[in-house]
Amino acid sequence: MLESRIFLVYYYVNNFIFDGGGEIMKLFLVLVMSLFAVGCASKDYVRQQIEPLQDKINKAQACCEQTQKAMKKSFELQQKK
C-alpha cells in the first residue's frame, strides 16, 4: 500500500510539478501528495502485527521463569550442603 502511494507522489511530481505551473501550485501539490504518502497504522493493524510477537514473548518469558526456578532450586540445594 505504501509503495503505491509513493508511486503516485512520484507520478504527480514528475508530470504536474515539473511540466510547468505556478510556484504556489507546485507547493500545494507537494503538500497534498505528501499527506497521501504518509500512512497511519490503525489499532487493528498494530494488533495483527504484535500478536505473533506477543506469543513468542510469552513463550520466552515462561521458559525464563522455569530456568529461574531451576536455578533457584539448584542454588538452595548447594547452600544446604
Pair 31, 57 in one domain: no
Pair 63, 80 in one domain: yes
| 6-10, 31-35, 42-46, 57-61: segment of lowest average pLDDT | 6-10
Q: How far apart are the first and last CA of the chain?
A: 64
Residues 6+ apart with CB under 8 A from 30: 13, 17
What total number of domains does the chain contain?
2
Amino acid at site 64 = C
Pair 35, 47 in one domain: no
Pair 35, 46 in one domain: no
What pLDDT score does 37 carry?
Answer: 65
Structural domain boundaries enclosing 24: 1-39
The predicted-structure confidence for 58-71, as pLDDT tens digits, reads as follows 999 999 999 999 99
Pair 28, 61 in one domain: no
| pTM exceeds 0.85 for this model | no
Measured CA distances, 18 to 11, 30, 38, 41 (Å): 11, 11, 22, 32
